[in-house]
Structure 1
Amino acid sequence: MKKITYIIAFLWTLTSIAQQTLFCNFGNIQTHDQAQIGFHLDVVNNGTFDENNGGTVGFYNQTGSLNISGDNRPTFHDMIVDVAGDLFLDVAVEVTNFQEFVNGRVQTPRDRRNVSLDYTNDAPYLGENDERYVDGYASINGDLNFTFPVGDDFRLRPISIENEAATNTARSAYFFENPNNPNFFPSNYDTNNFSSSLFGVSTFEFWDLDGDIETRVTLTWDDNSNIPTLTDNLEDLRVVGWDSNLGQWVNLGNTGATGNLDNGQITSDVIIPDNYTIITFGTSDIILDGDLEIFTAVSPNGDGFNDTFIIQGISELPNNELSIFNRWGVEVYNKKGYDNSWAGISEGRATIAKGEELPVGTYYYVLKIEGLKDRAGYLYINR
């Protein structure tokens, strides 16, 4: 109890002399088990405040904001955030045991990645929602799977990594902005420039995820993610990343997607986060079916990507027959010995409007291969 009394006396003396509402630490502060300290004003840590082996430090302001700054990163055993106008970090803050969101966000400068809310020793958190999260960068160092409580524009948009990736400090932030015109990155990331295995990339949001250890990554979406602009089938949804070496978006996979078009999550293949500048959602037009790769999207616009219906490996199976039907079951294309040449034109036997471009929409294909089972599925024409 003597320690707490001393801190309060020091605080008032400083406030009276400096004529400003802040607590400035030039010395050595340490909390022990069962200790409780509440800050109702800004904190400047120029001394030692990182040897706390117990206790709770809370930040409270029911009307305005608070700020933590200084030369040294403070480290708290337990930390409570109850600040109506948000808690702003100008220096990184570490939590080693538990952190609770009660009111307000923790805001970090998005142009300074090293200033973050740092969870270590697998410190858990509680109370996050669309109004309470880390608005900026958070980091993890531990041994368990971790979900970053990050968001932007009053939207919690978590991103998760596997336990191996947490052992060497992974860091992440969410950005509700167009990758083509990001505010806190030196480059633009053209969402029209993607690998041939992709069909589109989101223009609404992205994450920055930093880490040098392999992991699967799980992204979340809500109705503001506008997933229906990419696909109406979650099986076609992909995690995609900007590869700075290639200068394009690449497919990072889909090992599982749950939810619906308005709310859900998707998990990537195993990746090394540092290999990709930013990551977001995309859509792929590939179905792996045995030795075949079936690109289930056609965009015959002359740009060299997906101009025809491509079935990689079909040349090795020349005794085949491809039929394509519209939504009413009318055959619009048929060819024996298909050779990846169909460009969305109605032709072949028993078709309608022969020789005309087929309209944008979903079609159904049936691929018969001599001696093998038939393949069937949906494809999409987009002009």
Structure 2
Amino acid sequence: MKRGHYIGAFVVATLLLFKSYSQEAFHNFGNLQIHTDGEVGFHMDLINDGTFNQNEGFAGFYSPDDRLTISGTNRPVFYNMEIDVFDDLFLEVATGVRNFQQFTTGRVQTPRNRGSITTSLDYLNDAPYAGEDDEHFVDGYASLTGDLDFTFPIGDDFRLRPMRIQDGASANTSRGAYFFEDPNFPNFFSDRFDTESRAPTLFAVSIFEFWDLDGDTETRVTLTWDDNSNIPTLVEDLDGLRVVGWNETTGEWDNLGNAGTTGNLSNGEITSDPFIPNNYVVLTFGSSDRILDGDLEIFTAVSPNGDGLNDTFIIQGIAQFPNNELSIFNRWGVLVYNKKGYDNSWGGISEGRATIAKGEELPVGTYYYVLKIDGQKDQAGYLYINR
């Protein structure tokens, strides 16, 4: 049901005066406010070149057969806001909502090029929203300023693909968008994100989609997937899936971890380890840091930080082969660990001699392992320590 136009006598007079000259847009040059219990429905474009950010009532944007646009030099901020626009609501200036926002018809379109990311739909003071689905979302950038967990209602190409951050991550504002395109050939970024350039613990990176998340506070991020994400091209099961981020400094994709997954290979979500979003240009999915070799499953990432995840070098199935010997070397070929009858107990501590003191924590970096099992061919490869 469409809302009415009551916003107080002064504003109604201003609106009617403008409409007598033009049916195209409501242009604010002054200082307007929708008061408590006031309601206004915009059936035309809004141009805000004045002050329109102290609203306490309701604002709706309505068009049954066309698009609407919000533009101007100043950001309007609404208390409650409804979007019911057949051909989408286009933002050419950032627009804020402080209390609640309803998706009814159409999407909110915001610029995707990096030079315009400050033009976004801004959820202020942890403002919630409702009505999001594959036809109702922010097609472009949305931002949050607040203290609670938040899921960005973002998507692309009539596909809602939300991204969630933890509480406390948006005290200084976080901003996000979703891109249904190959990161090797992005349309809205000046650089490409080479999926063949990746950290040693990664074996593949998605070529189907990516997210942009900006923020200066450490958080875990949760990404979602659907059938079009083609997750089976990366992993055979969700234990091997990882969140990955493009590190502009090193020019490669970093492994941001897998703190938990839900769903299946067709639909689900994955949560990363904590990281600072501004350290990574874009995010997507990567394959596991493990190797399947016969009856063995070798996890090639070691993060001995006491969180219970990959604290030791795990070779799943090694108990079946007690007559084994594991040797680990650093990048200069110095032996840093050796054990006969390896039992998944090594946590990145040097057991070597010469240049590496025994009992010393080994630094972050890439190492080389050799696994010998009686009666089988030696197995060798790289592993990565990350503290």
**Equivalent position amino acid for 1:234 in 2:** L
Select which of 250, 253, 263 maps to 1:259.
263
Alpha-carbon distance in structure 2 between the residues aligned to 1:61 and 1:144: 33
Alpha-carbon distance in structure 1 between the residues aligned to 2:327 and 2:143: 43
Given the superposition, is the C-alpha separation of residues 3 and 226 from structure 1 closer, same or farther in structure 2, using an over 3 Å criterion? closer
**Equivalent position amino acid for 1:200 in 2:** A
Matched, 1:34 2:37: yes
Gapped regions of structure 2 (runs ≥ 5):
291-298, 303-309, 318-325, 330-335, 344-371, 383-387
Aligned to 2:379: 340
In the TM superposition, what are the counterparts of 1:47-66 in structure 2 within 5 Å?
47-52=50-55, 54-66=56-68
Select which of 270, 275, 299 maps to 1:271.
275
Alpha-carbon distance in structure 2 between the residues aligned to 1:134 and 1:253: 27
In the TM superposition, what are the counterparts of 1:119-158 in structure 2 within 5 Å?
119-158=123-162
Aligned 8 A contact 2:140 2:177 in 1 = yes
Q: Report the TM-score when normalising by structure 2.
A: 0.77
Aligned 8 A contact 1:319 1:337 in 2 = no
What SS does structure 1 have at the residue aligned with 2:169? helix
**Equivalent position amino acid for 2:97 in 1:** V
Aligned 8 A contact 1:318 1:337 in 2 = no
Select which of 106, 109, 116 maps to 1:107.
109
Aligned to 2:90: 88
Post-superposition Cα deviations, 1:253-297, rounded to whole Å, max 9, x if no partner, equal: 00001100010000000000000000000012332666325599x
Alpha-carbon distance in structure 1 between the residues aligned to 2:341 and 2:127: 60
Given the superposition, is the C-alpha separation of residues 180 and 106 from structure 1 closer, same or farther in structure 2, using an over 3 Å criterion? same
What percent of counterpart residues are identical? 54
Given the superposition, is the C-alpha separation of residues 16 and 26 from structure 1 closer, same or farther in structure 2, using an over 3 Å criterion? same
Aligned 8 A contact 2:184 2:207 in 1 = yes
Alpha-carbon distance in structure 2 between the residues aligned to 1:233 and 1:58: 45
Select which of 41, 44, 49 maps to 1:46.
49
* 1:40 Cα deviation after fit: 0.3
* 1:8 Cα deviation after fit: 3.7
Alpha-carbon distance in structure 2 between the residues aligned to 1:316 and 1:184: 50
Matched, 1:248 2:221: no
What SS does structure 2 have at the residue aligned with 1:47? coil
What SS does structure 1 have at the residue aligned with 2:228? helix
Alpha-carbon distance in structure 2 between the residues aligned to 1:273 and 1:119: 18
- State the aligned residue count: 317
Post-superposition Cα deviations, 1:204-231, rounded to whole Å, max 9, x if no partner, equal: 0000000000000000001111101101
**Equivalent position amino acid for 1:101 in 2:** F
Aligned to 1:306: none
In the TM superposition, what are the counterparts of 1:210-249 in structure 2 within 5 Å?
210-249=214-253
What SS does structure 2 have at the residue aligned with 1:250? strand
Alpha-carbon distance in structure 2 between the residues aligned to 1:320 and 1:211: 43
* 1:28 Cα deviation after fit: 1.1
Which protein has the bigger strand share?
1
Aligned 8 A contact 2:6 2:40 in 1 = no
Aligned 8 A contact 2:155 2:179 in 1 = yes
Gapped regions of structure 1 (runs ≥ 5):
297-309, 322-332, 344-383
Alpha-carbon distance in structure 1 between the residues aligned to 2:265 and 2:176: 24
**Equivalent position amino acid for 2:47 in 1:** V
What SS does structure 1 have at the residue aligned with 2:207? coil
Alpha-carbon distance in structure 1 between the residues aligned to 2:6 and 2:89: 28
Aligned 8 A contact 1:72 1:91 in 2 = yes
Given the superposition, is the C-alpha separation of residues 271 and 290 from structure 1 closer, same or farther in structure 2, using an over 3 Å criterion? closer
Aligned 8 A contact 1:96 1:120 in 2 = yes
Alpha-carbon distance in structure 1 between the residues aligned to 2:26 and 2:223: 39
Aligned 8 A contact 1:319 1:336 in 2 = no
* 1:11 Cα deviation after fit: 2.7
Post-superposition Cα deviations, 1:150-188, rounded to whole Å, max 9, x if no partner, equal: 000001000000111121100000000000000110100
> RMSD of aligned C-alpha atoms?
2.5
Post-superposition Cα deviations, 1:6-62, rounded to whole Å, max 9, x if no partner, equal: 434433432333x4511000111111211111000000000110111x211000011
In the TM superposition, what are the counterparts of 1:227-376 in structure 2 within 5 Å?
227-286=231-290, 287=299, 291-294=312-315, 316-319=338-341, 335=374, 339-341=378-380
* 1:76 Cα deviation after fit: 0.4
Select which of 193, 198, 206 maps to 1:194.
198
**Equivalent position amino acid for 1:261 in 2:** L
